[in-house]
């Protein structure tokens, strides 16, 4: 893995094809001034910020990345960067160009395919990943690579390669799951299913980050650029559950985690996850986990 400061261009050859990376490239910098990078075909990568907000334009659409969010960009997508905050800290991880298809092959065939092995196959489609991911753990993993990249030891390099490969395997499994779920959408064209899935997934990720707030169906649907009833139908088609039921599930799982790992009272946990009624919370928790909250902690 190579660690470098931010590039002046994503494709210095100005070729119309995406850049070819012979290794993983990690670009990271604490900005002292605004930064812009003109639109160019991109390699496959993950874009984050360690501080401040960064605007990444993928195929002309602005994506504002902040801490704990990760933007996936697909190979051949048009990428431009414009960061106005002088103290922002963008980080761009571009994968070895052979890695995506080789790992996909290993997942299919059950073998650990080395990077130098020839694979006679067309590139796999990773379009379902190209969206904003609200994933603090993934964000932290990418951030941890900066320290490894600044270390010249062979052990650090090997560790970075292992982390990136494991990271990408998780992403590919997510891509496979997304492709499978998208088939639940009642639309004839694959492009339509992809667009609907990406919109609904964006809203679902936002729900996972803000489940403790008092949010409405209209707010969630607006994030997917749909009216509330259309969003409700699409969400139910994809996940076989309503947005309201999914929010309740998120709240109850968080409550279970807090009961397991903290000394907060049941009342404090009830309010922390966004329930106003302790009675309603207790009834739903017991229905889901077979114990009332207080009994669950004792058990």
Name the pairing type of β-strands 2-4 and 25-28: parallel
Let me know whether 196 and 258 are in one domain.
Answer: no
Q: What pLDDT score was predicted for residue 284? A: 95
Let me know whether 40 and 129 are in one domain.
Answer: yes
Residue 251 in contact with residue 212, Cβ under 8 Å? yes
The CATH number of whichever domain residue 28 belongs to comes to 2.60.120.280
Q: What pLDDT score was predicted for residue 172? A: 86
Specify the DSSP class assigned to residue 13: T
Let me know whether 122 and 196 are in one domain.
Answer: no
**Cα–Cα distance measured from residue 19 to residue 13, given in angstroms and rounded to the nearest whole number:** 8
Distance of CA 28 to the CA centre of its chain: 19
Residue 132's nearest CA partner among 212, 239, 209, 42 is 209
Question: CA angle at residue 289 from 285 to 292, to 5 degrees?
Answer: 50
Residue whose tokens read 């590039």: 7
Let me know whether 158 and 222 are in one domain.
Answer: no
Q: CA of 154: how far to CAs of 94, 145, 149, 158, 160, in Å?
A: 20, 14, 11, 6, 10
Two tokens at 40?
A: 């160019």
Name the pairing type of β-strands 132-134 and 69-73: antiparallel
Residue 49 in contact with residue 100, Cβ under 8 Å? no
Let me know whether 16 and 126 are in one domain.
Answer: yes
User: Of all residues in the chain, what percent are helix, strand and coil, respectively (each to 5)?
Assistant: 45, 15, 35
Block mean pLDDT (10 aa), the chain, length 299 = 87 69 92 92 94 94 90 93 92 90 70 51 73 89 90 85 91 88 90 92 90 91 94 96 95 93 93 92 93 84
Let me know whether 54 and 176 are in one domain.
Answer: yes
Q: What pLDDT score was predicted for residue 15? A: 62
Domain of residue 280 covers 245-298
**Cα–Cα distance measured from residue 6 to residue 50, given in angstroms and rounded to the nearest whole number:** 14
Q: What pLDDT score was predicted for residue 214? A: 87
**Cα–Cα distance measured from residue 208 to residue 135, given in angstroms and rounded to the nearest whole number:** 10
Q: What pLDDT score was predicted for residue 9? A: 81
Burial of 232 (0-12, 13-18, 19+ CB in 10 A): middle
Let me know whether 46 and 149 are in one domain.
Answer: yes
Let me know whether 169 and 226 are in one domain.
Answer: no
Let me know whether 130 and 83 are in one domain.
Answer: yes
> Listing from the earlier edge strand, what are the strands of the sheet with 35-41?
35-41, 78-83, 54-58, 61-65
Name the pairing type of β-strands 61-65 and 90-94: unpaired
**Cα–Cα distance measured from residue 235 to residue 233, given in angstroms and rounded to the nearest whole number:** 6
Two tokens at 150?
A: 């600044």
| pTM for this prediction | 0.79
Distance of CA 234 to the CA centre of its chain: 20
Last residue of a domain, one of 141, 157, 182: 182
Let me know whether 233 and 254 are in one domain.
Answer: no
Q: How many domains does the chain have?
A: 3
Let me know whether 121 and 214 are in one domain.
Answer: no
Last residue of a domain, one of 133, 164, 182: 182
The CATH number of whichever domain residue 268 belongs to comes to 1.10.10.60
Let me know whether 225 and 249 are in one domain.
Answer: no
**Cα–Cα distance measured from residue 168 to residue 189, given in angstroms and rounded to the nearest whole number:** 28
């Amino acid at each position: 893995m190579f660690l470098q400061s931010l590039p002046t261009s994503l494709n210095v050859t100005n070729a119309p094809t995406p850049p070819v990376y012979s290794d993983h490239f990690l670009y990271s910098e604490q900005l002292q001034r605004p930064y812009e990078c003109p639109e160019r075909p991109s390699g496959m990568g993950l874009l984050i910020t360690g501080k401040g907000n960064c605007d990444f334009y993928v195929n002309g659409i602005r994506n504002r990345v902040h801490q704990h969010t990760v933007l996936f960009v697909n190979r051949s997508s048009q990428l431009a960067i414009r960061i106005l905050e002088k103290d922002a800290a963008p980080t761009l991880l571009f994968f070895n160009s052979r890695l995506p298809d080789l790992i996909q092959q290993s997942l299919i065939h059950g073998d650990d395919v080395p990077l130098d092995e020839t694979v006679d196959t067309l590139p796999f489609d990773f379009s379902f990943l190209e969206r904003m991911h609200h994933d603090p753990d993934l964000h932290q993993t990418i951030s941890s690579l900066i320290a490894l990249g600044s270390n010249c030891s062979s052990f650090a390099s090997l560790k970075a390669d292992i982390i990136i490969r494991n990271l990408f395997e998780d992403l590919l499994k997510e891509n496979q799951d997304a492709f499978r779920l998208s088939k639940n959408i009642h639309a004839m064209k694959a492009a339509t299913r992809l667009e609907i899935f990406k919109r609904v997934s964006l809203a679902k990720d936002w729900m996972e980050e803000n489940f403790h707030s008092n949010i409405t169906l209209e707010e969630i649907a607006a994030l997917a650029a749909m009216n509330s009833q259309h969003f409700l139908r699409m969400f139910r088609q994809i996940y076989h559950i309503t947005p309201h039921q999914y929010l309740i599930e998120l709240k109850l799982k968080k409550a279970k985690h807090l009961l397991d790992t903290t000394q907060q009272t049941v009342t404090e946990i009830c309010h922390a996850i966004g329930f106003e009624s302790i009675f309603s919370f207790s009834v739903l928790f017991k229905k889901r986990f077979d114990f009332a909250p207080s009994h669950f902690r004792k058990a």
